Amino acid sequence: MIKVLFVCLGNICRSPMAEYIFKDMVKKQGLEGKFYIDSAATSTEEIGNPVHYGTRNKLEQMNIECGNHTARRITKQDYEIFDYIIAMEEQNMVNIKRIVGDDKEQKIYKLLDFSDNPRDIADPWYTGNFDKTYEDIKEGLEGFMEYLKKKDPILRRD
Ligand code: 4NP
């Protein structure tokens, strides 16, 4: 089982969008049993709050199932549980390390580092542009899946 945790600042816009798009990709590729996928925040700002309507609307528009995730903060224990901790932007990486400590096992990545054009994913909480967020996240997730398939034998079809 590959355990993936997506992380952003509030855990209501970008990281739940990544969680649900990735769950959808995994399901469509028949890989559901091989993954455990969740998302979390670095801040305490939105703890307990549901997925932002901008993310919910975009997922609905793309026919992607949006579950009932409520925002939670990443913990030190998450670092032990998850194999991949995937941040949306550079500042998330800094904040994650403040909470979990040094990335001794090199589990912390930035989503768009898996794309051909590494960059941050802008926060739609500020930009209001959930279409751009969706495109950026999709690009990163496709690169991530490709990376996993090359690396992890449990994802190969024989
Ligand atoms: P997210 O967006 O990190 O993509 O979930 C944000 C949501 C809420 C806040 C900041 C960013 N906030 O400050 O409450």
71, 11 Cβ separation under 8 angstroms: yes
Catalytic residue among 38, 66, 78, 123: 123
Q: Report the distance separating Cα 102 and Cα 14, nearest Å.
A: 24
Q: Please indicate whether residue 51, judged by its CB atom, sits closer than 6 Å to ligand 1.
A: no
Q: What is the pLDDT of residues 61-119, one digit of tens each?
A: 999 999 999 999 999 999 999 999 999 999 999 999 999 999 999 999 999 999 999 99
Q: Taking 80 as the threshold, does the pLDDT of residue 5 lie above it?
A: yes
Ligand 1 probe mutation, 11, 12, 51, 92, most atoms within 8 A of CB: 12
In the reported structure, the alpha carbon of residue 46 is separated from the centroid of ligand 1 by a whole-number distance in angstroms of 7
Ligand 1 probe mutation, 7, 8, 9, most atoms within 8 A of CB: 9
Is 157 an active-site residue? no
Domain ranges of the chain: 2-153
CA distances from 21 to 67, 79, 109, 152 (A): 11, 22, 18, 20
113 DSSP assignment = G
State residue 149's pLDDT score.
94
Q: What are the helix (H) ranges across 49-109?
A: 53-61, 76-81, 90-100
Q: Taking 80 as the threshold, does the pLDDT of residue 158 lie above it?
A: no
Catalytic residue among 13, 14, 66, 78: 14
What is the average pLDDT score of the chain? Answer: 96
In terms of DSSP bridges, do strands 84-87 and 108-110 run parallel, antiparallel, or are they unpaired?
Answer: parallel
Among the listed residues 99, 105, 65, 86, the one whose alpha carbon sits nearest the alpha carbon of residue 8: 86
The model's pTM is: 0.97
Among the listed residues 140, 120, 135, 123, the one whose alpha carbon sits nearest the alpha carbon of residue 52: 123
131 DSSP assignment = H
What percent of the chain lies above the pLDDT cut of 70? 99
Is 8 an active-site residue? yes
CA distances from 130 to 33, 54, 118, 127, 133 (A): 29, 6, 19, 8, 5
State residue 10's pLDDT score.
98
CATH 1.20.1630.10 fits 2-153, yes or no: no
What percent of the chain lies above the pLDDT cut of 90? 95
**How many residues appear in the chain?**
158
In DSSP terms, 5 is beta-bridged to 38, 85
- Angle 58-95-37 (CA atoms, 0-180°, nearest 5)? 45
In the reported structure, the alpha carbon of residue 35 is separated from the centroid of ligand 1 by a whole-number distance in angstroms of 26
State residue 155's pLDDT score.
84
